Structure 1
Amino acid sequence: MKLGTELARLTAGIDQLYRSTPRSDGFLDKEGLIPVAVAEVEPTSLRDYAEATGALEALLARVPAEAESELRKAYVSEMIDSLLALVTTFAEKDISFADRVRRQIRVSTQKVDDATLDGYRTIIAEKLAEIGYGGSDLGSDVRRWEADVRVPREQVLDTMRKLTADARAKVSATMYEMGDDWLEPDEVRGVPFSAYCDYPGRKLLLNLDHPYTIYALKHLATHEAFPGHLVHLALRQRYVADGSMPLDGAQVVTSSASSALFEGIADNGLFFIDWVETPEDELAVALQRLRGALRCNAAWQHHVEGKSIEEIAAANAEAGYMDVATTASRLGFLRHGLRAPFVYAYWCGDMAVHDVWKTVPRERRAEFWQYLYGNMHTPSTLKAFWR
């Protein structure tokens, strides 16, 4: 537990350094490096990023001898390396975008290949035909279906309340008893995201500048609340408090080694509670994954190939069967220095968790969830240490 306490304190100290640099008063800048902490952490006092780098390197050298398990040795080592990469960016030293993705998010993906994208399109076409929407070009069929299942803007919050309540009931029945824990849907506008779990405020913020289908809201109810971020954070708060999880588990650290699993757990929420029930659900999952993969490619095109967000948004919208304005809004956070590689946490995290989830027999689900929610993970540790 000592390593976890020191890692948490050092991360909090780096967060203080990051926040000490004047930035905008925008939503993402206000988050800092640690947007949520579910326990009190006393930050390590750091003069500058050079001292932070030295402290991280010293802690990394101690990990092999002091880690409580092989899983913790692997995870803490990867987390510290991701923080070293973050500090390099904060200090405005040279680091390539490829290295930021590899070291911070801990994935090898640079651009998602055409075969994978075409695989999603095949599923989309098959499911559209199955429900009677085939016959035109794929983009037209997708847009027609989404228009028919779109929730009127004035009904979005009430629809989300019902779906979130349904998801909570399913989680309580099959995974963890959630009692009356809740995220209250609330609207926001002019922000570079679709939805956000405000855990301290217990709100599910929905960007009503965007259109939503009933299936998109169903996904967001599971991603942001049950069994996604709300459940994940509530369990981490409980486990840190009772001493079964080290103190670093109390922190959500943006664009770090923990990010892909934080988002991947949330993106697999529909599967955990057996809520992918119909061809429409399967269609919606394939669309979500196609669009997530395309956002990874958009990040690479912007940061490596030098294309503008406006240029990318037009091509991305066409490939993902979306309107350009919504696509451009969802790509807006690619301009944010801290969050530049974070988009990879969604699609890559989804794939990392789902690849393991597919191997878990029904009778071992409870064991797997304890392993998944009860430990801090990266994509590689999740795969390596689940048996």
Structure 2
Amino acid sequence: MLRWTNDHVGETIVDIVLSLNDKTKELHNQEVATASYSDIKATLGSFDDIGSKLDYVERELKELEGHQGIYLRAMVNGFRYFARSLQGDAVPYNELIANIQELPSVLISDDKISELREKVERGLTELGYKGSLEEKVNRWRNDTVIQPELVTKVAEDFMERSKEGTLKKVIYLPDEDGIDSVNSIQGVFWSGYSKYVGDYRGNLTFNIDRPWTEPILAQIMTHEAYPGHQAFYCRWDYLFKHGKLPLEASYYLINSPTNALFEGGPETALHFLGWDVLDEETPGVSIEAKKQYILARDFLDLQRIYTTNACFMYNLGQVDKNEAIEYMITEGGITSIEANNAFRFFSDPVQKTYYPAYYYGRWMVGLAYDATPADKRDEYFRILYDTPHTTQTFINAIGKLNDKEFIPFAGIKKVRI
């Protein structure tokens, strides 16, 4: 077993993670340790016990040098802030995001909104749609809609092609890898969910309360399965079993500094396959389909800006629930169902400090991929999939890979509210 620290420190780190998971289930009936590859069990029954172990681990990590020390100290700091959030400590939201996610809490600019809005409108026009932007979007969605009872079937059809592309272009997965079931659900606030069950297997679930279209489902399916979450979970399991992933990073924890990578990779997953690159060879994916996928990506990015801005405005105390939902619907053109689901997501006591990982992760990981030359893509994927990274250590690694400072969050400025 690969270790970065002595036996007791490594086991204590995993114990803290799993004990935070138990406390979250006790308080909010939610799982936050969505994968753990060792046989270590939670033993810490109170926040005082967790705090005491955090103190111990912090002392032990003070002298740990290099990437290992930077990574683990950031993770332990994130654990502490997450524990404070769970206990209801009055920590400002932007301070929680900075310490748990290593991300800014600044609203995404009007310039970025205008840029994406223009891309969406241009894409719709090139596909032959006419009228106002709202009219074009409505017609496009009607033309590509999937009936709720067919969502899982369409997702399954995508999955075979996306896994083939993952194995060819992105990463190796063991032969035992696979999805055991693709399910539908109602009454939840998320769109799709990838549940890792262990031994390289997983299940997918899609929320059929929300409207689905073929090009949008392609984005979400690749996010949840290949080369998204299932690929990440399976790859980490494989690496741990083969002594290439350290015990100290042998889990995935919602609300930790790794989240922007874990969501940013899947948010960029379809792009990794080349399904939205017009001059890249992709068997089974036509040029016409690629134009749809490009439009869907821009459309989802635009919607994510509005939901992320609403998340920040609400959690920073600038708007109330009704104002946040109204902003998403009137400014963002988001359907009432999706706006209300987004609000339920980012106002949730656990998920409120996770939600920024989606947009900022997509931004960071996507910019890093596009900045990396084709002959360095294998190393890029090793950094993203195979190396434990926090937001900041990933930014540093991409800068080193490309011999150029990487500043994904440059130029952020305040939006009108």
CA distance in 1 between partners of 2:225 and 2:45 (Å): 38
Match for residue 139 of structure 2?
144
Matched, 1:115 2:121: no
CA distance in 1 between partners of 2:331 and 2:139 (Å): 16
- CA offset at residue 60 of structure 1? 2.3
CA distance in 1 between partners of 2:68 and 2:389 (Å): 9
Matched, 1:37 2:36: yes
Per the alignment, in what secondary structure is the counterpart of residue 358 of structure 1? helix
- CA offset at residue 161 of structure 1? 0.5
Match for residue 63 of structure 2?
65
Runs of 5+ in structure 2 lacking a partner?
A: 278-289, 402-417
Report if the CA contact (8 A) 1:110-1:296 is conserved.
no
- CA offset at residue 53 of structure 1? 2.3
Match for residue 126 of structure 1?
122
Q: Percent identity?
A: 19
Runs of 5+ in structure 1 lacking a partner?
A: 24-28
Report if the CA contact (8 A) 1:187-1:205 is conserved.
yes
CA distance in 1 between partners of 2:105 and 2:24 (Å): 27
Per the alignment, in what secondary structure is the counterpart of residue 276 of structure 1? coil
Matched ranges for 1:292-331 at <5 A: 292-305=304-317, 307-331=319-343
CA distance in 2 between partners of 1:42 and 1:343 (Å): 28
Report if the CA contact (8 A) 2:61-2:73 is conserved.
yes
Matched ranges for 1:346-365 at <5 A: 346-365=358-377
| Residue type at the aligned position of 1:253 | L
| Residue type at the aligned position of 1:169 | E
CA distance in 2 between partners of 1:227 and 1:7 (Å): 28
- Which of 152, 157, 168 is the matching residue for 1:157? 152
Per the alignment, in what secondary structure is the counterpart of residue 65 of structure 1? coil
Matched, 1:88 2:93: no
TM-score between the two structures when normalised by the length of structure 1: 0.91
More displaced stretch, 289-298 vs 191-200: 289-298
Query: CA-to-partner distance for each residue in 1:343-385, whole Å, 9 max, x for gaps?
Result: 1010011111112111222122122211211112222111102
Report if the CA contact (8 A) 1:259-1:342 is conserved.
yes
Per the alignment, in what secondary structure is the counterpart of residue 206 of structure 2? strand
CA distance in 2 between partners of 1:228 and 1:80 (Å): 26
More displaced stretch, 12-21 vs 271-280: 12-21
More displaced stretch, 284-293 vs 323-332: 323-332
Query: CA-to-partner distance for each residue in 1:240-277, whole Å, 9 max, x for gaps?
Result: 12221112333121121111111011111111111114
Match for residue 344 of structure 2?
332
- Which of 186, 190, 194 is the matching residue for 2:187? 190
Matched, 1:15 2:45: no
- Which of 65, 76, 86 is the matching residue for 2:72? 76
CA distance in 2 between partners of 1:180 and 1:12 (Å): 26
Cα–Cα, structure 1 residues 258 and 177, in superposed 2: closer, same or farther, change >3 Å? closer
Match for residue 343 of structure 1?
355
- CA offset at residue 103 of structure 1? 1.1
CA distance in 1 between partners of 2:178 and 2:260 (Å): 24
Match for residue 271 of structure 1?
271
Per the alignment, in what secondary structure is the counterpart of residue 205 of structure 2? strand
Per the alignment, in what secondary structure is the counterpart of residue 94 of structure 1? coil
- CA offset at residue 40 of structure 1? 2.1
Per the alignment, in what secondary structure is the counterpart of residue 81 of structure 2? helix
| Residue type at the aligned position of 1:50 | D
Match for residue 164 of structure 2?
169
Report if the CA contact (8 A) 1:194-1:330 is conserved.
no
Report if the CA contact (8 A) 1:353-1:379 is conserved.
no
CA distance in 1 between partners of 2:24 and 2:351 (Å): 13
Report if the CA contact (8 A) 1:101-1:108 is conserved.
yes
Report if the CA contact (8 A) 2:171-2:381 is conserved.
no
Matched ranges for 1:175-324 at <5 A: 175-178=170-173, 179=175, 181-183=177-179, 184-200=181-197, 202-277=202-277, 278-305=290-317, 307-324=319-336
| Residue type at the aligned position of 1:11 | V
Per the alignment, in what secondary structure is the counterpart of residue 383 of structure 1? helix
More displaced stretch, 206-215 vs 56-65: 56-65
CA distance in 2 between partners of 1:34 and 1:257 (Å): 14
| Residue type at the aligned position of 2:58 | L
Match for residue 26 of structure 1?
none
CA distance in 2 between partners of 1:151 and 1:248 (Å): 43
Report if the CA contact (8 A) 1:299-1:341 is conserved.
no
Report if the CA contact (8 A) 1:232-1:373 is conserved.
yes
| Residue type at the aligned position of 1:196 | Y
CA distance in 2 between partners of 1:209 and 1:91 (Å): 32
CA distance in 2 between partners of 1:258 and 1:252 (Å): 8
Report if the CA contact (8 A) 2:219-2:293 is conserved.
no
CA distance in 2 between partners of 1:95 and 1:55 (Å): 21
Cα–Cα, structure 1 residues 8 and 145, in superposed 2: closer, same or farther, change >3 Å? same
Report if the CA contact (8 A) 1:240-1:249 is conserved.
no
- Which of 358, 373, 396 is the matching residue for 1:384? 396
